[in-house]
Structure 1
Amino acid sequence: MPTMRYVILHGPDGLQYVEMPASHAYQLSALLLRLHKEIGKLTADNVPQLPHVSAECSDLELHDPSASVISGLDFMNRLEQRFAQIREQSYPLISLLTEIRALLAQLEQWYDEEYGA
């Protein structure tokens, strides 16, 4: 069974628990930190609000019945879709999308290798 880590995020949607391969969890945290650093430079009117990284951990036991774990692949797909919809004219948005898509491609490859999906 592959080693997983959990990236705990807080933001407009409350707390989110994202399950990531241990080898990629830090990349998600670093990507979100970079996106937060750059998002203020975007001039479009449909820039999504991003969650902030609160923590990473190896084990997670949820006691709130309304809480659920999101797969890293699902989280990254949604993130990519939200950024692909931005109508930006001034800032080179493609560089941010490239970073998002690079991590997404790595996750897709990881899941294919681990689960043959």
Structure 2
Amino acid sequence: MRYLILQEKDGLTFVALPETHMYQLVALFKRLYKEIDKLTIEDRPQLPTVLAECADLELLGSGLAVVDGLDYVSSLEERFAALPESQYPLISLLTEIRALQAQLEFLRDEE
């Protein structure tokens, strides 16, 4: 298991993903950063800052928790799917988000 540490507007988020799929989430964020300004809507979703990726994580604060990767990707998909946009950049981004989501769902079903 790998962990991605994200700086969200309201604090840190720790996302757990299988090592085999972590690179896809990092690549997805890079693509989102690159393409978000191409959306034609004014109220674009706020993207977190990727701070670090690590193999081990020990949370010492009582208010901290690790988010399952599928749950995080699903919430990301919901945020982007709710946008009132029908242009190519959003459709392309949603396709990538949903592809990773489907892979993670498949992994969960296999376990």
**TM-score calculated relative to the size of structure 1:** 0.89
1:68 aligns to what? 65
Measured in 2, the distance between the counterparts of 1:32 and 1:5 equals: 16
Structure 2 unmatched ranges of 5 or more: none
The CA deviation at 1:89 is 4.8
Which of the pair is proportionally richer in helix? Answer: 2
Q: Percent identity?
A: 59
Q: 1:45 aligned to 2:42?
A: yes
The CA deviation at 1:43 is 1.8
2:91 aligns to what? 94
Structure 1 unmatched ranges of 5 or more: none
- Name segments (4+ residues, structure 1) moved above 2 Å: 89-92
Give secondary structure in 2 for the equivalent of 1:40: helix
Does 46-55 or 83-92 show the bigger shift? Answer: 83-92
Measured in 2, the distance between the counterparts of 1:50 and 1:64 equals: 24
Q: How many residues matched?
A: 111
Measured in 1, the distance between the counterparts of 2:66 and 2:91 equals: 29
Q: 1:105 aligned to 2:102?
A: yes
Q: Which amino acid aligns with 2:12?
A: L
**TM-score calculated relative to the size of structure 2:** 0.94
Give secondary structure in 2 for the equivalent of 1:46: coil
Q: Which amino acid aligns with 2:110?
A: E
Does the CA-based 8 Å contact 2:38-2:89 persist in structure 1?
Answer: no
Does the CA-based 8 Å contact 2:35-2:89 persist in structure 1?
Answer: no
Measured in 2, the distance between the counterparts of 1:62 and 1:92 equals: 37
The CA deviation at 1:44 is 1.0
Q: 1:85 aligned to 2:85?
A: no
CA RMSD, 1 decimal: 1.2
